[in-house]
Amino acid sequence: MDRIFHSTMNRRIFLKTAAVGSILASGGIAGFPISTSGAASAHTLPPLPYPEDGLEPYISGRTLSFHYGKHHRAYVDKTNELVKNTDLAGLSLEELIETSAESQNRQLFNNAAQSWNHTFYWRGMKSKGGGSPSGDLAKAIIRSFGSVETFKESFSHAAENRFGSGYAWLVAQGDILKIMSTGDADTPVAHGVKPLLTIDLWEHAYYLDYQNRRKAYIKAFLDHLVNWDFVSENLDGN
Ligand code: MN
């Protein structure tokens, strides 16, 4: 992946995009390479990093069979359909997100961003996850939020208060970690900050298991599912 291209694109798009929260234009770049699509090759649905029932009892196999097997697959298929036989075929998901944000092609943006966001969400969880971060990540969280507990409270608050569909994120901007909340398909990839962790807040992520109890889903995510190794790798991947 060409990081100079990404830096330039992200900065340019950021400056043209409505401000999101307190995000500043001076930060690092979200270049997390989730897709590596070659020339003209279609985007593929990446395998889950665990079996569909691997997150039980906190997220059921039934939820994952729909969420991954139906919703995520549909976003990837639609992205392929939209770029097929166009100049955009062969671009990575990150490049499609940036390009469609700039051109305000909402249908492509929504499907490419949802394809990217879901892969990132799956990778941020694991069986017997949760608990607390360690090492440099823990230091960065304490430096930015004061304590791990304060981080968890801020993340939970943002997730609970996202009205309707969207995501809550832990992101890095330079040396500072921040909480970010985005609506619908929107993603830090389009805003020049580096995503470290996300929780999907669309009802399809939790309704079968928790119905309207989003707060219980968020607590289960933090207490039992977060893959802190994945978050550390993202922080290190400058
Ligand atoms: Mn989802």
Q: How far apart are CA 74 and CA 68, in angstroms?
A: 9
Please indicate, yes or no, whether residues 97 and 170 belong to a single structural domain of this protein. Answer: no
If one counts the domains in the chain, the total is 2
**Mean local confidence (pLDDT), 208-226:** 98
Is residue 227 situated within a structural domain?
yes
Picking from 89, 123, 157, the residue at the C-terminal end of a domain is 123
Is residue 214 situated within a structural domain?
yes
Is residue 129 situated within a structural domain?
no
Please indicate, yes or no, whether residues 22 and 117 belong to a single structural domain of this protein. Answer: yes
Is residue 53 situated within a structural domain?
no
The encoded tokens of residue 8 equal 């330039």
pLDDT in tens, 172-186: 998 899 999 999 999
- If you measure from the C-alpha of residue 135 to the centroid of ligand 1, how many angstroms do you get, rounded to a whole number? 30
Query: Looking at the predicted structure, is the pLDDT value of residue 13 above 60?
Result: no
Q: For residue 50, count CB atoms less than 10 angstroms from its CB and return exposed for 0-12, middle for 13-18, buried for 19 or more.
A: middle
Is residue 41 situated within a structural domain?
no
The encoded tokens of residue 202 equal 């669309």
- If you measure from the C-alpha of residue 214 to the centroid of ligand 1, how many angstroms do you get, rounded to a whole number? 14
Greater pLDDT, 210 or 39 = 210
| Domain containing residue 32 | 2-36+59-123
Q: How far apart are CA 58 and CA 193, in angstroms?
A: 29
Q: How far apart are CA 1 and CA 92, in angstroms?
A: 9
Greater pLDDT, 32 or 27 = 32
Greater pLDDT, 36 or 140 = 140
Q: Given the structure tokens 């893959």, which residue do they identify?
A: 227
Q: Given the structure tokens 């309704």, which residue do they identify?
A: 207
Picking from 97, 123, 149, the residue at the C-terminal end of a domain is 123
- If you measure from the C-alpha of residue 142 to the centroid of ligand 1, how many angstroms do you get, rounded to a whole number? 29
pLDDT in tens, 63-93: 999 999 999 999 999 999 999 999 999 999 9
Q: What is the pLDDT of residue 199?
A: 98
pLDDT class for 237, splitting at 50, 70, 90? confident
Per-chain mean pLDDT for the chain: 87
**Mean local confidence (pLDDT), 96-121:** 97
Q: How far apart are CA 118 and CA 34, in angstroms?
A: 10
**Mean local confidence (pLDDT), 35-56:** 83
- If you measure from the C-alpha of residue 52 to the centroid of ligand 1, how many angstroms do you get, rounded to a whole number? 15
Please indicate, yes or no, whether residues 7 and 113 belong to a single structural domain of this protein. Answer: yes
Picking from 91, 123, 155, the residue at the C-terminal end of a domain is 123
Name residues with Cβ closer than 5 Å to ligand 1, which is an ion.
200, 202
Is residue 100 situated within a structural domain?
yes
Please indicate, yes or no, whether residues 139 and 231 belong to a single structural domain of this protein. Answer: yes
Please indicate, yes or no, whether residues 17 and 105 belong to a single structural domain of this protein. Answer: yes
Please indicate, yes or no, whether residues 77 and 169 belong to a single structural domain of this protein. Answer: no
Please indicate, yes or no, whether residues 88 and 142 belong to a single structural domain of this protein. Answer: no
- If you measure from the C-alpha of residue 190 to the centroid of ligand 1, how many angstroms do you get, rounded to a whole number? 18
pLDDT class for 229, splitting at 50, 70, 90? very high
- Residue pair 124/81 in contact (Cβ under 8 Å)? The answer is no
Q: What is the pLDDT of residue 30?
A: 41
- If you measure from the C-alpha of residue 63 to the centroid of ligand 1, how many angstroms do you get, rounded to a whole number? 10
pLDDT class for 10, splitting at 50, 70, 90? very low
Please indicate, yes or no, whether residues 144 and 118 belong to a single structural domain of this protein. Answer: no
- If you measure from the C-alpha of residue 218 to the centroid of ligand 1, how many angstroms do you get, rounded to a whole number? 14
Q: Which CATH number belongs to the domain containing residue 220 in this structure?
A: 3.55.40.20
Give the pTM: 0.85
Closest listed residue to residue 205, CA positions, set 64, 76, 77, 45: 64
- If you measure from the C-alpha of residue 134 to the centroid of ligand 1, how many angstroms do you get, rounded to a whole number? 28
Work out whether the CA dihedral 27, 109, 119, 145 comes out positive or negative: positive
